[in-house]
Each structure stands twice: as structure tokens, then as C-alpha cells.
């Protein structure tokens, strides 16, 4: 059985999904305030290209104390907007083609579980492996539950999921757009690097697609 993994932001979507979610949950004023108050820290993280640290910083400063019910409600609405109007036509068609062929399709993303699991249900994929937010006493703590699902962590999650689901062998096909997907693309038998050029239809051999690797969104 063929196992296919898709990154989400800018691979399946036309735009980033994390910052719009944070703004919808916390409010634009809160996000701007956090940006101004902690600008030196943010600059240091950006200069070091510390994507994990930057995400943890914004989660801590913008989402701590948010009610889980609110985070979930906004997540459901956010997922609906993305699937309804923010999907890439070409890669979404690839995903559907893999499903029609009977492949096992999973999404592996650094985006947040509050909306990614809803996205997974809407797209009817077999599993969603993503970054999770920590909850306690009905509120977000401002910390991540586990590691950011980016870079090498993506393949850690994929292998754990495959082992738990009883799949032998390795990942067959992976789609991604950035350095945050590099390990997953390299580990797959076929790694498809998604760029600005639209992908063609799925054949028996998807083949590697060339594109420009940018920063992880």
C-alpha cells in the first residue's frame, strides 16, 4: 500500500494559515502589542532563522490563557475558510487523485491541531500529524504540547504513525515546499518539491517536481 504525505501551508494552500489563526483567536491588537513589546527578541529569532523559537514565542505571548472552547470554535471556522477558498488547485487535485487510487494520504504540518484536524476531516485524509497546543484547565497554556512539527520532527512523527498503524517499509511519496520539509522529501521514495509552477496531473510515477525552496511559513 502506498503512503503519501503532504505538507500543508503553501503546499496544499495558497497562503500561510498560522498567523491568520492567531489573529482570529487573540485579536489583531494583541498580536500587534506582542510584536511591539518583544520586538528585540523577535528580531534575534528571525536573524537566527529560528522558526521553532519564533513560533513558540508568539504562542506564549498571544495564545496563553485563551479558552480551549474559543480556540476550537475559531479553528473549525478557520478550517472551513481554508478548504473552501484557500487551497491550491493543482496540489489539491493531486491529493484527491492519490485518494482515488486507494493510496494512504496523510498531512504532516507545522500548523496547529486546533484547525488542522478539522481540515483533515474535511479533506478525508487518513491522518493529520501537526503541531499541538498545550491545554490545562480549559485554557491554552501558551506552550506547545511536544515539538513543533517541522524539519526532522516531521519524519519522527511519520515513522511513529506508520509503526503504530502497522505499515511496513518507508514513506513512498511526499510533497513539500520549503526547507522545513527537506527531511521528509529526502526520506520518501519520491519527493515532490512544490514551487510556484503548477503541478500536472498524477501519473503512475508522480516524479519529482522542481521549484524554489523558500522559508518555512
Q: Which of 53, 84, 57, 66 is nearest to 27 (CA)?
A: 66
> Would the pLDDT of 81 be above 60?
yes
Q: Which of 43-57, 126-140, 190-204 has the highest mean pLDDT?
A: 126-140
- C-alpha cell at position 175: 510533497
Number of domains in the chain: 1
Cα(115)–Cα(74) distance, integer angstroms:
8
SS3 of 107-159: EEEEEEHHHHHHHHHHHCCCEEEEECEEEECCEEEEEECCCCCCCHHHHHHHH
Check residue 54 and give its pLDDT.
Answer: 83
CB atoms near residue 124 (< 10 Å): 10
The mean per-residue pLDDT over the stretch 169-191 comes to 96
In a domain, 125, yes or no: yes
Tell me which H or E stretch contains 3. strand 3-6
CB atoms near residue 196 (< 10 Å): 9
In a domain, 185, yes or no: yes
In a domain, 205, yes or no: no
The pTM for the full model equals: 0.89
* Sign of the four-CA dihedral 160, 69, 121, 77: negative
> Would the pLDDT of 42 be above 50?
yes
What letter would DSSP give residue 183? H
The mean per-residue pLDDT over the stretch 143-162 comes to 96
Cα(95)–Cα(152) distance, integer angstroms:
23
**Model confidence at 212, in pLDDT bands (50, 70, 90)?**
very low
Could you tell me if 68 and 138 are in contact, meaning their C-beta atoms sit under 8 angstroms apart?
yes
The percent of residues in the chain predicted with pLDDT above 90, rounded, is 73
Contacts 24+ apart (CB under 8 A), 160-163: 161/106, 161/127, 161/129, 162/3
Check residue 203 and give its pLDDT.
Answer: 63
In a domain, 53, yes or no: yes
In a domain, 42, yes or no: yes
> Would the pLDDT of 90 be above 80?
yes
User: Given its phi and psi angles, is residue 75 left (phi above 0), alpha (psi -120 to 50 degrees) or beta?
Assistant: alpha
Q: What is the Cα 149 distance to its own chain's centre?
A: 8
In a domain, 70, yes or no: yes
Burial class (CB in 10 A: 0-12, 13-18, 19+), 217: buried
Domain range enclosing 25 = 3-193
Check residue 199 and give its pLDDT.
Answer: 86
In a domain, 203, yes or no: no
Check residue 104 and give its pLDDT.
Answer: 97
Strand-pair partners of 6: 107, 175
Q: What's 167's domain CATH number?
A: 3.40.50.1000
The mean per-residue pLDDT over the stretch 19-42 comes to 87
In a domain, 216, yes or no: no
Amino acid at each position: 500500500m502506498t503512503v503519501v504525505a503532504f505538507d500543508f501551508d503553501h503546499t496544499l494552500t495558497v497562503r500561510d494559515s498560522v498567523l491568520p489563526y492567531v489573529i482570529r483567536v487573540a485579536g489583531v491588537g494583541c498580536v500587534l502589542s506582542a510584536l511591539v513589546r518583544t520586538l528585540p527578541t523577535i528580531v534575534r529569532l528571525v536573524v537566527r532563522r529560528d522558526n521553532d523559537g519564533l513560533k513558540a514565542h508568539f504562542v506564549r505571548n498571544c495564545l496563553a490563557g485563551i479558552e480551549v472552547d474559543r480556540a476550537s470554535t475559531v479553528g473549525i471556522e478557520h478550517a472551513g475558510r481554508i478548504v473552501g477558498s484557500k487551497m491550491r488547485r493543482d496540489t489539491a487535485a493531486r491529493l484527491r487523485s492519490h485518494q482515488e487510487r486507494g493510496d494512504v494520504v496523510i498531512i504532516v504540518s507545522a500548523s496547529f491541531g486546533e484547525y488542522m484536524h478539522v481540515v483533515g476531516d474535511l479533506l478525508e485524509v487518513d491522518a493529520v500529524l501537526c503541531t499541538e497546543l498545550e491545554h490545562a484547565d480549559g485554557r491554552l497554556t501558551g506552550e506547545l504540547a511536544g515539538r513543533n512539527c517541522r524539519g526532522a520532527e516531521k519524519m519522527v512523527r511519520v515513522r511513529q504513525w506508520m509503526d503504530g498503524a502497522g505499515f511496513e517499509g518507508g514513506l513512498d511519496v511526499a510533497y513539500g515546499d520549503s526547507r522545513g520539509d527537506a527531511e521528509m522529501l529526502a526520506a520518501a521514495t519520491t519527493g515532490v518539491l512544490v514551487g510556484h509552477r503548477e503541478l500536472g496531473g498524477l501519473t503512475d510515477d508522480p516524479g519529482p517536481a522542481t521549484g524554489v525552496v523558500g522559508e518555512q511559513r
